[in-house]
């Protein structure tokens, strides 16, 4: 598989088969992704791979926290506090497309709640990944981290696996850090669902639009 094919194949998958993911495959993916670039080669990533009984325990804590208290707060500001177009319009279109695909109406608050709660189970994928970073690092390391996470997702495609990068899995950083024995001083960047795609699940049937190259690019010569 070439890089272009992997880029076009990758999508945010939200339903997975209960089939376990072999640890050797995960190690193979991370072994390739570790070659992602980073400023001055500082390699800011720290990764927790969670599956089995530990995943069940942790996802229960996360979903319980959400259902009891609503959305939590990330260790950093991911989204703007005030949305402006065109970003607000793209965000709205993304959410509407998913709910329309699932047949969830605007009035059905319980189904909306249940669908969002699935985030904290990593959409029942067999594996959750969590990404941590030293808080002494600065904004550039977030840029580095994005390239690392993208590298993981592209390598996962090559291994026949699906993924979904999730800010939601970072919304309860204290719960995650305590459960996994990480220092609470670390930044929890995000999480990721990883596993084998359930190809007949309706939620996996839609694709979001992307802007054409001409809309965001200027060429100078």
- Strand-strand pairing, 127-133 and 187-195: antiparallel
CA dist., res. 22 & res. 126, Å (int): 10
What's the pLDDT at 152? 98
Domains of the chain and any CATH numbers: 3-209 (3.40.109.10)
CA dist., res. 196 & res. 118, Å (int): 16
181-198 pLDDT, tens digit per residue, is 999 999 999 999 999 999
Residues, the chain:
221
Torsion over CA: 155, 159, 161, 162 (sign): positive
What's the pLDDT at 1? 86
CA dist., res. 37 & res. 43, Å (int): 8
What's the pTM value of the predicted model, to 2 decimals? 0.95
Instruction: Kindly tell me the burial class for residue 111, based on how many C-beta atoms sit within 10 Å of its own C-beta (0-12, 13-18, 19 or more).
Output: middle
User: Cβ distance 142 to 189 under 8 Å?
Assistant: yes
CA dist., res. 64 & res. 175, Å (int): 11
CA dist., res. 161 & res. 28, Å (int): 12
Closest to 116 measured CA to CA, from 155, 66, 82: 66
Spans in the chain with pLDDT lower than 70 = none
> Which stretches of 10-166 are DSSP H helices?
23-33, 52-69, 87-102, 109-117, 139-158
What's the pLDDT at 106? 85
User: Cβ distance 187 to 132 under 8 Å?
Assistant: yes
């Amino acid at each position: 598989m070439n890089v272009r094919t992997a880029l076009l194949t990758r999508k945010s998958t939200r339903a997975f088969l209960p089939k376990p993911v072999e640890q050797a495959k995960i190690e193979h993916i991370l072994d390739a992704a570790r070659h992602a670039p980073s400023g001055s080669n500082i390699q800011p990533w720290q990764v927790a791979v969670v599956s089995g009984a530990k995943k069940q325990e942790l996802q229960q804590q996360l979903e319980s926290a959400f259902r009891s208290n609503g959305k939590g707060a990330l260790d950093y500001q991911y989204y703007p506090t005030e949305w402006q177009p065109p970003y607000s319009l793209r965000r709205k279109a993304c959410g509407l497309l998913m709910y329309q695909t699932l047949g969830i109406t605007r009035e059905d608050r319980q189904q909306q709640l249940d669908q969002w709660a699935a985030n904290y189970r990593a959409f029942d994928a067999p594996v959750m990944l969590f990404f941590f970073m030293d808080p002494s690092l600065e904004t550039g390391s977030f840029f580095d981290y994005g390239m690392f996470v993208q590298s993981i997702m592209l390598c996962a495609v090559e291994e026949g696996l699906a993924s979904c990068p999730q800010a939601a899995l970072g919304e309860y950083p204290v719960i995650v850090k305590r459960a996994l024995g990480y220092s609470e001083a670390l930044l929890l960047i995000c999480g990721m669902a990883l596993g084998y795609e359930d190809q007949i699940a309706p939620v996996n049937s839609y694709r979001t639009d992307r802007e054409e190259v001409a809309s965001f690019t200027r060429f100078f010569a």
